[in-house]
Chains A and B, each alone.
Chain A
Amino acid sequence: MHNTKTDNNMDELLLIEAVERYINGDMTPKEQVFFEEIRKNNPTIDQMIVEHTFLYHELTKQANIKAYKHSLYEVENKLSEEGFISKAKLYSKAKVVFFWKKYKRNIAVAASIAGLVSIATTILISSYNNKLGNSNITVLMAKIDNTAKKVDQLDKAITANPSIQKNPSPDYRATGFLIDGNGFILTNAHVVNRMKNIYVENKEGVYFAAQTIYTDENTDLAILKINDISYKTIYNLPYSINKKNSNLGEQIFTLGYPRNEIVYGEGYVSAKSGNEGDSTAYQVSVSVNPGNSGGPVLNNKGEIIGIITSKNSVADGVVFAAKSKNIYSLIEAFKKADNNATIIKLPTSNSLKGFDREQQVKKMENFVFMVVGN
């Protein structure tokens, strides 16, 4: 029994070798005739040869494509070095590229990109709907300029505060908030996608190193984990995260870092769907600016109902926020993706209820972080 099997294996090895030589044309004419004769008379062997030839071709094709892709990368790298292919991440219109280049010198590099996160989003959103007019480009310029000043302040703050030194040059700024006192912070996927090194800063201006552990492009959400020994676990987050849809007209407020300082904004839920009927988001009416991305949206009871993601740069006061119930599905998906990961426990009890707005904000601001990175 055992022997036959070994024999079969040996036969198969010999046959494969023969096939390979046959395909490569390495056989002597005599061998070739002999081999073709076997093929003709033995359908099983013929089938083997067909299969093997196919496999062999696939393997060679694979090898060639890999080599070709390698050449593509090399050419691409060369052209990138030359500047023929733009290396910088540019979003939206080609015209932006032009302005970007033109004003690059005037604006501290770190500064200008900070605004781009959300500016890019707004432009992206508006360009879904209609073509951009030139007027929007001017707006963008002003914004970059403004942000330049703001981030200038940020730079000053960095030199002033030695504890911040470990983060030398933040290129982007946005907002995030704790969803688990063990250092899990929720923010937007579009925020972390542009950052290699991520830091979060609390209200006191203390920086902690953080890492992206999960992102979901569909809902534009991302989970960060603070990886810093100086971070102390916070127990009992005072807010809960709403699983249900909010009602039209519900009063809301948000906290975020459009400046180097936490900024409060209030408004209401203006539509139950986001951009172009996106059912995973709300349209809210609240004043936000670049840097607000990832900020929590809370209702009167102090429940988190959404996360600021983007705004329409053409229409005034049209802001989109991802619905809070997406956070639950995000956590589920994260669990599924990585079984070994620490379990994230979302806050369930809400102790902000019944307080007046000032009190709520005072408590809340301890858990909202500035997300910066480069």
Chain B
Amino acid sequence: MSNLEQEKQLLAGLALNDSIVIEAIYRDNYPIIQALILNNNGNSDEARDIFQEAMVVIYEKAVSGNFELNCQLKTYLYSICRRLWLKRLQQLQRFGNLIEHLEETVVVEEDLELHEKHNADFIMMEEAMNKIGEPCKSLLEAYYIQKKNMQEIATDFGYTNSDNAKTQKYKCLIRLKKLFFAQYKNG
């Protein structure tokens, strides 16, 4: 039981982007995932990619707040990585049966579908951001991603005052919105 509590804490830390928690999860789980990938036609670069993606999946779950751990985190991560790797193998057309030690797995299809949706949104936003051009892109990133305040931004970008910078920021946001929803509705 205390184990379960511990893992809950880990996930809470993960949602806050705590690098100590991230490191702990890597240390506990990376070797077994690497072995899975290396034993099944993969290389260490691919193992890193897969593990990273799985880490994003659990982050998304942790952030969403409704992550019910009905299995060990280890099992969950393993199941995710296994699924992701099978998919990657299929894409790479490296067919073959997975050689596995008998690790316990849980069903993760739904979670991965959700993750793919998140991924698609992420890419759409990235593309919309790339299309709005400069200085809009940097301006929005400074405010929404780097969380700088308007005064700093005005100084950085050379606006005479923060109000002008703010007006510009909202104009950029309107453009971003148009681009994003154009893609969103098409997609």
**Chain A residues engaging chain B, CB cutoff 8 angstroms:** 9, 12-13, 16-17, 51-52, 55, 58-69, 71-72, 74-76, 78-79, 84-94, 97, 124, 127-129, 131, 217-218, 276
Contact = CB atoms under 8 A, between A and B. Distances in A.
10 contacts: A55-B177, A59-B144, A63-B145, A63-B147, A68-B56, A71-B22, A72-B52, A86-B34, A128-B41, A128-B95
B165 to A, nearest CB: 13
Interface in B11-25: 17, 19, 22-23
A85 B59 contact: no
A128 to B, nearest CB: 5
Nearest to A278: B93
B88 interface: no
B114 to A, nearest CB: 13
B150 to A, nearest CB: 11
A124 B41 contact: yes
Contacts of A76: 26, 48, 52
A78 B171 contact: no
B107 to A, nearest CB: 25
B144 A60 contact: yes
Given A51-B177, A74-B19, A127-B96, 17 more contacts: A58-B121, A58-B180, A62-B126, A65-B56, A68-B56, A68-B59, A71-B22, A75-B19, A79-B23, A84-B27, A84-B30, A89-B45, A90-B38, A90-B44, A93-B39, A94-B38, A276-B95
Contacts of B182: none
B160 interface: no
Contacts of B144: 59-60, 62-63
Nearest to A124: B41
Given A12-B174, A13-B171, A91 B43 contact: yes
Interface of B: 17, 19, 22-23, 26-27, 30, 34-35, 38-39, 41, 43-45, 48, 52, 55-56, 59, 63, 92-96, 99, 118, 121-122, 125-126, 129, 140, 144-145, 147, 166-167, 170-171, 173-174, 176-177, 180-181
B30 A85 contact: yes
A240 B72 CA distance: 61
Given A55-B176, A68-B56, A94-B35, A75 B26 contact: yes
A66 B17 CA distance: 10
A55 B167 contact: no
- Majority secondary structure, B binding face: helix
Contacts of A17: 166, 170
B30 to A, nearest CB: 6
Interface-central residue, B52, B96, B181, by most chain A CB under 10 Å: B96
Nearest to B121: A58
Contacts of B17: 64, 67-68, 71
B30 A92 contact: no
A71 B19 contact: yes
B126 A59 contact: no
Nearest to B140: A59
Contacts of A86: 34, 44
Contacts of A91: 43
B122 to A, nearest CB: 6
A83 to B, nearest CB: 12
A226 to B, nearest CB: 28
A295 to B, nearest CB: 23
A16 B174 contact: yes
Nearest to A71: B19
Contacts of A75: 19, 22-23, 26
